[in-house]
Amino acid sequence: MKARLLCTLFPLVAACGPGRQAAWEKPAGAAATAPTGDAASLTAQAEEAWKSRGERTSCETVVAALVQLTAQNPHDAKALAWLSRAYYLLADGHLRLANENDAMLATFEKGVEAGERAMMASSTEFAAKVKAGAKVEEAVKLIPAEGQEPIYWYASNLGKFAVAKGFTTTLFYKDRIFAVMQRVLEIDEKFFHAAPHRYFGAFYAKAPSFAGGDLGKSKLHFDRALELDPNYFGTKVLYAEFYAPKTEDKTLFAKLLEEVTAGNPEVLPELVPEQKLEQQKAKKLLAEINEIF
């Protein structure tokens, strides 16, 4: 079981190095995508497709429209944050469930870059600092509370990108992601259904002890996330996926996931597509219970 868990958390893939070129490290130049269509129609297209984002084709339509929209206005922090979130949903929901791992990795990386651009658009001081070579861990403090959404989706994409890329990449970005998510926690612990606590619950469970792993802290954060919002299925899925195997608690694993599969996704009306995708993840994990334990 332990060997399988390590492989799940830190799959080894061939790579030239653990890092990647950040948006602020790239030379200024023409947009990678030539914009087409007007901003109003692109926004309307994205908003309409977003309603059915639980379907892969609709999620891809959202991404395509937002890529065009942000190419027209590369300093639109709101649209860039939305694009980062859409990339995350496409990767962590649709591509992960389809076992399209290469596409998932590439999509997470696109989500990271959209998040980087959104953070720079949220704070000129942050942008100036990182372009001058400052560490993101320090510069992120310059982003105001209004920039919480870009910060969160950047960190979420980067965390999933690092884990999917491999153990070396996970260690390379560990401190950065931790510091950035701490900023999200400082601004508002309730953000996106207690997302910062959900992240730290998973972080402390999946990290080896030498890299900061701590099952006691993991449980505290997961329990706090459920206290703040017991209705968001993603918290229970992560709790089961990362904490339960580490503690060899098969009963907890099954209990959490069965609560998700039996739950009503409409308990959070604004997140029905995400809730249904989490139910699919829960069913997949339950089917693997005898392999995990």
Q: Domains, the chain, ranges and CATH?
A: 40-188 (1.25.40.920)
Q: What pLDDT, on the 0 to 100 scale, is given for residue 29?
A: 57
Q: What pLDDT, on the 0 to 100 scale, is given for residue 120?
A: 97
Q: Find out whether 53 and 89 touch, Cβ atoms under 8 Å.
A: yes
- How far apart are the C-alpha atoms of 217 and 232, rounded to whole Å? 20
Provide the 3-class DSSP secondary structure of residue 104.
helix
Which positions ≥6 away from 189 have C-beta within 8 Å?
196, 197, 224, 228
Full DSSP string of 120-148: HHH-HHHHHHHHTT--HHHHGGGS-GGGH
- How far apart are the C-alpha atoms of 4 and 225, rounded to whole Å? 27
Per-residue pLDDT of the chain (293 residues; tens, 9 = 90+): 443 444 444 333 333 457 788 888 887 654 555 667 789 999 999 999 999 999 999 999 999 999 999 999 999 999 999 999 999 999 999 999 999 999 999 999 999 999 999 999 999 999 999 999 999 999 999 999 999 999 999 999 999 999 999 889 988 999 999 999 999 999 999 999 999 999 999 999 988 888 889 999 999 999 999 999 999 999 999 999 999 999 999 999 999 999 999 999 999 999 999 999 999 999 999 999 999 99
Q: Find out whether 43 and 82 touch, Cβ atoms under 8 Å.
A: no
Instruction: Give 74's DSSP letter.
Output: T
- What distance separates the 2 farthest-apart alpha carbons in the chain? 55
Tokens of 93: 């929901």
**Residue 189, amino acid:** E
Q: What pLDDT, on the 0 to 100 scale, is given for residue 208?
A: 86
pTM for the full predicted model: 0.89
Which positions ≥6 away from 255 have C-beta within 8 Å?
none
Q: What pLDDT, on the 0 to 100 scale, is given for residue 207?
A: 86
**First-to-last C-alpha distance (Å) of the chain:** 6
Kindly list the distances between the CA atom of residue 9 and the CA atoms of 112, 208, 241, in Å, as whole numbers in the listed order.
19, 10, 10
Tokens of 135: 């560490």
- How far apart are the C-alpha atoms of 220 and 210, rounded to whole Å? 20
Helix ranges (DSSP H) in 132-214: 136-139, 148-165, 167-187, 191-206
Q: What pLDDT, on the 0 to 100 scale, is given for residue 167?
A: 86
Which positions ≥6 away from 269 have C-beta within 8 Å?
none
- How far apart are the C-alpha atoms of 76 and 70, rounded to whole Å? 7
Provide the 3-class DSSP secondary structure of residue 28.
coil
Q: What pLDDT, on the 0 to 100 scale, is given for residue 1?
A: 45
